[in-house]
Structure 1
Amino acid sequence: MKVKEVIDELGSLCASGYLDAVKSIKQAISSEHRSVVFNDSFSASYIPAVQSLLGRSVDRLSLSDSVASQASCIIQTVNVCASEKKKLQKFSEVLDSASSRGIYIVAKEESFRKLTALLKLKGLTVVIFNSESTIIPAITKRGGQLAYLIDIEQFDSTEMKNFETVLLPDFVPSFQTYVEILTSMARDSVRGVLHSFVTEEEDVSGLAGSLVNVLEDCGQCVPDSWRNLSASMSD
């Protein structure tokens, strides 16, 4: 019979300095057990604590339909770049730092050519999901990593499972699409990073306000330019 380990109000325990004690108790319990964690904080500062107590695959139960609750523990990074060239450079840097087995890139199909060229240069095997799905083998292997290039117009959030690294080089066409990607990443995991890329010239006025709210509610960093844009729209 498997023992159940129940940890209640994790955020409060961490704030009170009891995380090490909780970890010690967990280590003393048989490895054949199930952990149930109730987290009373959505702050990004508690993400490492949650990850240290749970495995890579989880069953998430959200008691609220808020995005912050459904997407907790997923790190959101918004990269605002000065130009398209700078954006591609930043995208390349993030690719270099990605360590997960699969890297999922949701983009406009018109960007596939340049993205595929960059991914091949990085030594990644590219699996393309669009109207004519194909696999492009890597010229030089990079630790067996795969890059999944997905047409944003054909994106289906119900097919997302254990997507730990997701990149949005063309950002998203709507706030709803962003939320679907974010919450889908969190459905089965407490480990994930969602990287968004946008240039200063792109018009994100229709999305900025809602996205700033999501970032703030999830305890994530908000780009100053977006915060200022959101504030000016609410005046």
Structure 2
Amino acid sequence: MAKGDDALAKKKNKERRKKMQKEGSSVSARVASIIAAKKRRLSGRRRMCQASTSRYYCRLIEISNGMCFSLPSPDDPFNDRNGKLEFQTKKSKKKPLARKNEKAFVKGKMKGTENDKAMSGGSENKRSLISNNNLGTGQEKAEVQMNGKFGRGRQRQARESVDCPSKFLMYSLNEIEKALRHEGNDEEEDESLFVSPWGVEFLKCYSTGKDILESSGTSCTTEQIAWIVSMAADIIVRREEEDLLVPTPSFLFLVPTQEEAAKVRLVCKPLKALGIHTVSIHPGSSIDHQIHGLASCEPEFLVSTPDRLLELVSLKAIDISGVSFMAVDGVESLYNGGCLNALKSIRQSISGNLRTVVFNNFLSGACVPVLQNLLVGSICRLSIDQSIPCQSACIVQTIHLCTSEEERLLKSIQVLDDANGSQLCSQPLKVLYVVGNDNNSFNLVKMLEINGHTVSVESNRDISDDDNSPDTNIKMKPVVSVINVEHISTTNLAFYETVILPNFVPSIDNYVQILTRMARHSINGNFHSFLTKEDAPIARPLMGILEQCGQAVPEALRNLHLT
């Protein structure tokens, strides 16, 4: 069988290479192969291995070597495309529509990986950590469209959570903790800020949307300052992500002394790398220097003593009307220093919605008027200390001494009328009577109904459920709840602002249980107890509770103990 042209050419080239090798040619094998390949290209013939390679790769070789033609191929037998590749785009498959719950889950799962790092640099600090959490307590889950400097120029949706800490809050805590450990100023080096029991409780209280009363009886610690300033920084970042105007300053921390201001300023210092600038104002510096400093910067955080801050506000050196979050430390020191009027003026200078956290180390009854000027509306109590003074802070205990059962019954009703008359707010008081299983308790319920009160016996009926009250059309009186002393442990006492004991309970433990569980959402708690000579054995432990809580012991109660 005759051999083809390719076989003959191959044999001829092989013989030529052998001849060159025998003649001792100075040309290397690599150069010889290049020369042979060039001759094959000029003759229009190539090896099978070259023809079987990718056409795109061959085209590049041809162009690089000055060869601008291509051979026909099975895909292009007439060489219409001149060797150009035909790129085919991959068709995307249609995905089935996800159900509503699946779609929400994908959003919450995938959207949180864009900005996991906080970027900072030079004069332009960027805070790009975002909040991406899922609510787990039945509260409404808001999807916020975010863009702007920390997400401006691109739009995305993030699911916010008030029960779980956001990424930026955790990042701020991490930066503060690293800075404190580096400086050696961490009070508890073995414990991390992330596992702080107080921080967990603070996060729960903040999620309620109410003002917070911290009643541990001490000034704020470094750990507590770190959580508060991190939460304040997170508030600023969230508002900027929503393209909302963030006034300066946005966070105000009031302290009683210059030393406390320096302590707070030290904790806030690591946040400067994240774009949160803090300015400390106190009497230790001249007021002219502070005015000049405030004119040259716009701080997000302001740490100050009340008197110096009020002086600067009166000189219009700073505007605090846009403050949205305020913390007050050392109420007792501020009260003893005569700063009550300054606190009132500062509170009146702030317009709009304000969230307030107050550290109350003032356990006596005199703290109530002070806190009423700072905390407005319903509050949330925060204290990891389970002692009686801390749990019963701002609850006024009143002991009434009576000579007979009839007097005790009349005075218990008179106390309710006086409390209702002195109530200034539009909402009626939440009053609870704790009674026993005797005839006096039955007579008490009858007298309350005669006086026009709606009585709810071991139930939670609304005022509108009972239209048989004689004074319904004249004046709405508060609903009075009456429970038996045996049901104290199973009754929710958190919403009762006034609790009255017409007949003193047989055990002091019941008294303590009521005192530490009532008025959890108010600073206007009042606890009234009525005693007679038969209650003399309970006088001594009752005096001890009053002394622990920093409240005055009535002289009549001391005399009852002596008798």
> Shared fold by TM > 0.5?
yes
Change (3 A) 1:228 1:199: closer
Q: Determine the structure 2 residue equivalent to 1:213.
A: 544
* SS in structure 2 of the partner of residue 159 of structure 1: coil
CA contact (8 A) 1:73 1:186 kept: no
Are residue 32 (structure 1) and residue 353 (structure 2) matched?
yes
CA-CA distance at 1:45 after TM superposition? 1.3
Task: Measure, in 2, the Cα distance between the counterparts of 1:73 and 1:8.
Answer: 16
CA-CA distance at 1:177 after TM superposition? 0.9
Are residue 106 (structure 1) and residue 434 (structure 2) matched?
yes
Q: Percent identity?
A: 38
Task: Measure, in 1, the Cα distance between the counterparts of 2:373 and 2:397.
Answer: 19
CA-CA distance at 1:63 after TM superposition? 4.8
Counting strand residues as a fraction of each chain, which structure ranks higher? Answer: 1
Are residue 123 (structure 1) and residue 444 (structure 2) matched?
no
**Which of residues 382, 385, 390 is equivalent to 1:64?**
385
Change (3 A) 1:146 1:158: closer
CA-CA distance at 1:187 after TM superposition? 2.4
Instruction: Give the letter aligned to residue 188 of structure 1.
Output: H
CA contact (8 A) 1:60 1:187 kept: yes
Pairwise CA RMSD: 2.3
Q: Which runs of 5+ in 1 are unaligned?
A: none
Larger Rg: 2
Change (3 A) 1:58 1:14: same
CA-CA distance at 1:12 after TM superposition? 0.8
CA contact (8 A) 1:103 1:165 kept: yes
**Which of residues 312, 320, 327 is equivalent to 1:6?**
327
CA contact (8 A) 2:395 2:526 kept: yes
Task: Measure, in 2, the Cα distance between the counterparts of 1:21 and 1:158.
Answer: 41
CA contact (8 A) 1:157 1:184 kept: no
CA contact (8 A) 2:456 2:479 kept: yes
CA-CA distance at 1:33 after TM superposition? 2.0
Q: Determine the structure 2 residue equivalent to 1:203.
A: 535
Instruction: Give the letter aligned to residue 127 of structure 1.
Output: S
CA-CA distance at 1:181 after TM superposition? 0.8
Q: Which runs of 5+ in 2 are unaligned?
A: 1-234, 237-323, 421-427, 460-464
Task: Measure, in 2, the Cα distance between the counterparts of 1:51 and 1:109.
Answer: 38
**Which of residues 143, 156, 167 is equivalent to 2:476?**
143
Instruction: Give the letter aligned to residue 482 of structure 2.
Output: L
Are residue 224 (structure 1) and residue 545 (structure 2) matched?
no
Are residue 168 (structure 1) and residue 489 (structure 2) matched?
no
* SS in structure 1 of the partner of residue 386 of structure 2: coil
CA-CA distance at 1:36 after TM superposition? 0.6
Task: Measure, in 2, the Cα distance between the counterparts of 1:11 and 1:228.
Answer: 31
Are residue 155 (structure 1) and residue 155 (structure 2) matched?
no
CA-CA distance at 1:20 after TM superposition? 1.4
* SS in structure 2 of the partner of residue 109 of structure 1: coil
Structure with the larger RCO, 1 or 2 (CA within 8 Å, 6+ apart): 1
Q: How many correspondences in the alignment?
A: 226
TM-score by length of 1: 0.86
CA-CA distance at 1:224 after TM superposition? 2.2
Q: Determine the structure 2 residue equivalent to 1:77.
A: 398
